A = this chain, B = another copy of it.
C-alpha cells in the first residue's frame, strides 16, 4: 500500500488513523458482528455513534446549548434552498458574493424572495474579500449570507461582517474545524463534510434554536424544514449513517490532537511554509490579496499555462496529486486541510523549489 499526498479540494484527504480504524471495524463494529453500514439507525449502537459525534463536535466548537447540531444530506447546494425556505419570513436577505458558491446560493435564494448583493468581489475574479466596514444591510433582511472560506479562489473572511443585528448564515464547508470560532456570532453555520470533516454525503448544520420554527415558506418539503430534523435528533428518516460514523472518528482525532487551538497552530504553520515560498519564488506566485489568504486552499500560478500543466503532471508522477486549479482561476491549487500532514506541504514546497530551479536554470 502506497499513500499519496492528496491536495484535492474535496472530497479530500482524511486522517490515515481514521481510515485504518474504519477498515479494521468494517466487518464487525466493536463486537456487534456487523458493519456500521448494516446497522439499524434506531439501534442503541448507532445512537451511541451519533450522540458521541455530536458531543465531540460540541466540545470542539464550544457550541452553546441554544444551538442545534443537525446531520443532513444534500450538500451545500441543498442548503442554498433550505436557508431561504426556512428563514425568509420577510422575503428579504443580503448576500456577500465572494465566489462561485456564494453566487449560487444567492441565485437560488432569488426563487424565494429578494436577495440583495450587499458586497461582491466578482470584479477581480473573487481574489479578495470586500470591505466589510459599512455594508448596506437591508433593515428588514431576514439574514446576511456569506461563504466564509472560498475553496476555488483561496480567500477567507478574517473578520465577520457587521450584520447590524441580522442573523449571519455562513457556509463554512472548506474551513470547518480548521480553527476555533465563536459560534454565538452566527445564526447558522453549515458545511458539507467532504472537505475537512469526512466523506461526501453528510451536511452539518449548526443552527440557533430561535431560527427553527414552523413558519417556513409554503411548499417547503418536510425534509427541507430544519424543524423536522431538529425535533428528531437528525433521525427523522434514515441518516447517512456511515458518513456520520466517519465524521465522528475525525472529531475524536481532532480532540486527541488537542482541539481547534492546536489545529489552528498547525494550519498556520503549514500555510506559512507554502505562502512564504510563494512570496519568495521567482517562478510561482499566489493569486489572491495577501490579507485575505485562506489557510486551507492555496491557489498559485507560474503565469505560463504550459509550465503550469507540466508542473501538475510532474508533481503527480512524484505522488503529489490533485494540484490542478479550478478552471475559473487556472494554474494550481493546493488544498491543505486538517488531515494534510506538515510533511505533505514540505514535500510540495521542496518539489516546487526543484521545479523552479530546473525551469529558471538557477
Q: Which residues in A have some Cβ–Cβ distance to B below 8 Å?
A: 1-4, 6, 8-14, 16, 19-20, 22-24, 26-28, 31-35, 37-41, 43, 73-78, 80-82, 85, 108, 111-112, 192, 194, 198-202, 217-219, 221-224, 236-243, 246, 319, 321-322
Question: When chains A and B are docked, how far (Å) is the Cα of A11 from the Cα of B40?
Answer: 5
Which DSSP category, helix, strand, loop or mixed, fits chain A's interface? loop
Question: When chains A and B are docked, how far (Å) is the Cα of A13 from the Cα of B33?
Answer: 11
Known contacts A199-B240, A200-B238; 18 further A-B pairs (Cβ under 8 A): A2-B31, A8-B38, A11-B238, A12-B38, A23-B24, A23-B26, A23-B27, A41-B200, A73-B240, A74-B78, A77-B223, A77-B236, A108-B222, A192-B238, A194-B238, A201-B241, A201-B243, A217-B219
Can you list 11 pairs linking A and B with CB atoms under 8 Å apart?
A: A6-B38, A8-B40, A9-B40, A11-B40, A14-B38, A73-B240, A74-B223, A80-B223, A85-B221, A111-B221, A243-B243
The 8 closest A-B pairs by CB, nearest first: A201-B240, A81-B221, A4-B33, A23-B26, A73-B73, A37-B199, A77-B237, A200-B238
Shortest beta-carbon distance from A10 to chain B in Å? 7
Q: Are B199 and A112 in contact (CB under 8 A)?
A: no
Question: When chains A and B are docked, how far (Å) is the Cα of A61 from the Cα of B75?
Answer: 29
Shortest beta-carbon distance from A23 to chain B in Å? 4
Q: Are A4 and B23 in contact (CB under 8 A)?
A: no
- With A112-B219, A200-B238, A239-B200 as given contacts, are A37 and B10 in contact (CB-CB < 8 Å)? no
Q: Are A222 and B80 in contact (CB under 8 A)?
A: yes
Q: How many copies does the complex hold?
A: 2
Shortest beta-carbon distance from A299 to chain B in Å? 16
Question: When chains A and B are docked, how far (Å) is the Cα of A178 from the Cα of B321?
Answer: 41
Q: Are A73 and B3 in contact (CB under 8 A)?
A: no
Residues of B within 8 A of A22 (CB): 26
Residues of B within 8 A of A85 (CB): 221
Shortest beta-carbon distance from A49 to chain B in Å? 12
Q: Are B3 and A27 in contact (CB under 8 A)?
A: yes
Residue of B8, B81, B239 near A222 (CB, 8 A) is: B81
Q: Are A6 and B19 in contact (CB under 8 A)?
A: no
Question: When chains A and B are docked, how far (Å) is the Cα of A240 from the Cα of B242?
Answer: 11
Q: Are A108 and B221 in contact (CB under 8 A)?
A: yes
Question: When chains A and B are docked, how far (Å) is the Cα of A22 from the Cα of B24?
Answer: 11
Q: Are B6 and A34 in contact (CB under 8 A)?
A: yes
Question: When chains A and B are docked, how far (Å) is the Cα of A349 from the Cα of B161?
Answer: 65
